[in-house]
Amino acid sequence: MQIHIPDVLSTEQVAHCRAVLEAARWVDGRVTAGHQSAKTKNNLQIPETAPELAELRGIVLRALDASPLFMSATLPSQVFPPLFNRYDAGMRFGAHVDNAVRPLPGGGGRIRTDISATLFLSEPEEYDGGELMIEDTYGAHSVKLPAGHMVVYPASSLHQVTPITRGSRWASFFWIQSIIRDDAARTTLFDLDMAINGVAADLPDHPSVVSLTNCYHNLIRRWAEV
């Protein structure tokens, strides 16, 4: 399931993050790549040692906590502390799949990467190329969103960032371990939650709202790993 989550960051928050990133030190993005990914990854990244990273991560994590759509789409158990990358002209990240398990920074254990997320920090008109291409059973899907918008998709998907031919593409990226491991089950729960919200908005006093909500939470009880 691929979901576009609009307005995760406001225009002002994006501008602040960009200003902080402008002054930061960038390193070779292969620092977080696995063995296979490193062969095809060509970008820049803010290192874990960067003093700016804690502030930037806090901005993104607080925004995620405030997003009902993010919560519904991912049902998070853990969120990997957000990272920040940049693709300048000539850079790309070829087709790859994300590592299934990643160590958390600071020796804080590990996270199973059920869901991948890209939060765009550049406007589409700022660069040519740089599309996030996500492959699923229905083919390849091109994603290039406004600054402040985010896409979440199964981390098991083969995906790539196409070559930049003009400008620069900046983003935050991270992974989510969900309480619902199976993507098909998460999709069912998301669709049900959206339907409940629609019925509740149109018919707030209808008894079906309670019945459907009961079904939703009972399915979570059946499928959740907590």
Please report, in tens digits, the pLDDT of each residue of the chain (226 residues total). Answer: 899 999 999 999 999 999 999 999 999 988 776 666 667 899 999 999 999 999 999 999 999 999 999 999 999 999 999 999 999 999 999 999 999 999 999 887 999 999 999 999 999 999 999 999 999 888 899 999 999 999 999 999 999 999 999 999 999 999 999 999 999 999 999 999 999 999 999 999 999 999 999 999 999 999 999 8
Q: What's the CATH number where 87 sits?
A: 2.60.120.620
Between the two ends of the chain, the Cα-to-Cα distance in Å is 21
Domain that holds residue 56: 3-178
User: Does residue 182 have a known ligand-binding role?
Assistant: no
Domain shared by 189 and 162, yes or no: no
Between CA 92 and CA 106 the distance in angstroms is 29
CB within 8 A of 26, min separation 6: which ones? 44, 45, 46, 86
217 a known binding residue? no
What is the model's pLDDT at position 35?
66
110 and 28 in a common domain: yes
156 and 210 belong to one structural domain:
no
159 marked ligand binding residue: yes
Considering the domain architecture, whether residues 7 and 116 belong to the same structural domain is answered as: yes
Number of domains in the chain: 2
Same domain membership, residue 12 and residue 47: yes
What would the two tokens of residue 33 be? 């790549």
Spatial distance between the Cα atoms of 62 and 65, rounded to a whole number of angstroms? 5
